[in-house]
Each structure stands twice: as C-alpha cells, then as structure tokens.
Structure 1
Amino acid sequence: MNKPDPIPARLAALKTTPTPDLKQQWRDLFDSEPPPFNRRYLESRLAYRIQELAYGGLKPETTRRLERLGEELGGGDRSKRGIRADRDRPITGTRLLREWQGVEQIVTVTADGFEWQGRPYKSLSAIARAITGTRWNGWTFFGLKNHRGRT
C-alpha cells in the first residue's frame, strides 16, 4: 500500500502558519534570510520550494531556455525591465490620429515619448486620459493594441 503524500498537507498548512514560522522555514529551505516582502510572497515561494525539493525542479533544458530568453529580453539589465521593446513602439515622427467626440486628436511620437497639443507626454495612456477624462490603455485608445506582441 502506498504511503499518502505529505506535501499537499504541508502546502495547505502554510496558510495558517504564523509569519515568524514562515520566516524560519525560509531560512531552513533557502539557507538565507527571508526577503522583506509580504506574507503571500513568502507563502508562494515556500510552496514552490517545498514542491521543488520533493518532486524536483525545472528540467535543465527548460532552465537553459529561460536563461536564453532572459538574455534576449534584456540580459538581466534592470534598466531594461518594464520598458516597451523598440520594435513595439511606433517610429519617431509617426502621427497617431484618433477622433474623439467629433474632434480629431493628433499625437506625434517623439524620441522620448509623445506630444499632444504641443505638450510632451511620457505615455499614450496619459494623453488618452487628458482627452477623455477617464482612465484608458493608451495603446488601445489609439488602436495600437492589436499590433503589440507580433513577431
């Protein structure tokens, strides 16, 4: 007869474990001090680590592929994280046109952002908000959403 797997019960127990005990588990499982993040982060990382140690981690080929993708997408350079890739951004000088409530709105793509009505903006969302008075995804508002992510 097979012994029941203790891992699911151990994972479930993380939800009710006091935070100081979670931090001690972190020290035991990662051999380092826990990061100063919130409880949910500690729970999720501990759950992953418990499963990784019990069942094995990523296959070596998966790790290599993730490392290759990381290098292609910025090589771990923190300054590049969260920045839209140049291939997704319209070419400097491009004019974006949108009619809103009967008025044609024209935005020009600049080297460091966008310009609308003679004023510089860092994002299309800020311009869409200025035009409409409500929060919009600027790429969607100007009809560029469908072009993102194409290769």
Structure 2
Amino acid sequence: MARQNKRLDADLASLADMTSADLQERWSAIAGEAPPKAPPALLRRLLAQRLQERRHGGLPVMVIRELERMADKQQPAAAPVAQRPALTNGTRLIREWNGQTIAVEVVEGGFSRDGRTYRSLSEIAREVTGAHWSGPRFFGLTHRG
C-alpha cells in the first residue's frame, strides 16, 4: 500500500513538468480516449483526478446516482439579460477625460459630438483616447464585471 501511494505521488509530481503534448499523450494512455480540448493547467488537474480515482476508487455509486438525480431536477439556467439604460434621442452623455469635457448627444441612428455623427459610442471613445475602449463603459453605462 505504501509503495502504491509513493507511486501515485511520483505520478502526480511528474505532471507538473509535462508539456501539453505529453499531457495529451498521458491522457490517451490513461483514459483510452482523445484528451479533452483544455488548457494544460486544467488537463493536469483532470489527469491528477483520474490517477487518484484509479488508486483510491471513484465516487460511490450511491453518490453518483444522487448527483444524477439532482441534475435531472435542475432547471436550465436562463441566459442573463444585460440591462443597459435605454438611450432615447436627446439624451446627453458627459465624460471628463484628461481635463477635457466630452459631451455626446443621442440622435437618430447614432451619436453626435462636435457636429459629427458616429454610429457607436466606441468610435467616439477611440477617437478621444486613441485606444480601444468599450464606448458604453467609457461613458459609464456599463461596469466591468
């Protein structure tokens, strides 16, 4: 038993030094199937789990059945709906950027700034900053989440 645990420990430790190709080859040898499309870090964890299951056994059948029963009862999650404030014609968006006040007005078919019409807020944000920005985020309509 102690010898088997040492072997498992050595197998687990060897995963850290394996290349992506080595991990995929090892997966095929252990699982008898093509490896999942996963980054190397995840494949290492999956291999570690497989190795430990082989040594210690997997989940008890009773637990597997209970998990399957719970999954069958689970309702599919509804896709989250992003709530963005409605922008109606005439709405003004104002943002300070490097000491400059950026004022944009919502117009039919886009946004107006300094007499020019733009199709998106991102175009304006890119012009103002010189970098790629999410226009709605630049003007405070959405938050990084």
TM-score, structure 1 normalization: 0.52
Which consecutive aligned stretches of 4+ in structure 1 deviate over 6 angstroms post-superposition? Answer: none
Deviation at 1:8, TM superposition (A): 5.5
Query: What is residue 54 of structure 1 aligned with on the other side?
Result: 52
Q: For structure 1, which runs of at least 5 residues remain unmatched after alignment? A: 75-84
Going from structure 1 to structure 2, the CA distance change for 1:43 and 1:109 (only over 3 Å counts) comes to: farther
Question: Structure 2 CA distance, aligned partners of 1:8 and 1:52?
Answer: 13
Compare CA radii of gyration and give the structure with the larger one: 2
Tell me how large the CA RMSD over aligned residues is: 4.3
- How many residues align? The count is 125
- Residue 89 in 1 paired to residue 84 in 2? yes
Whole-Å Cα distance in 1 between the matches of residues 50 and 107 of structure 2?
A: 50
Q: Identical aligned pairs, as a percentage?
A: 27
2:133 corresponding residue in structure 1: 136
Alpha-carbon distance in 2 for matches of 1:6, 1:109: 70
Q: Distance in 2 between the 1:86 and 1:141 partners?
A: 21
What is the CA–CA distance in structure 2 between the aligned matches of 1:7 and 1:126, rounded to whole Å? Answer: 56
TM-score, length-scaled by structure 2: 0.53
Cα distance in 2 for partners of 1:23, 1:5 equals: 23
What amino acid sits opposite 1:10 in the alignment? D
Corresponding residue for 1:81?
none
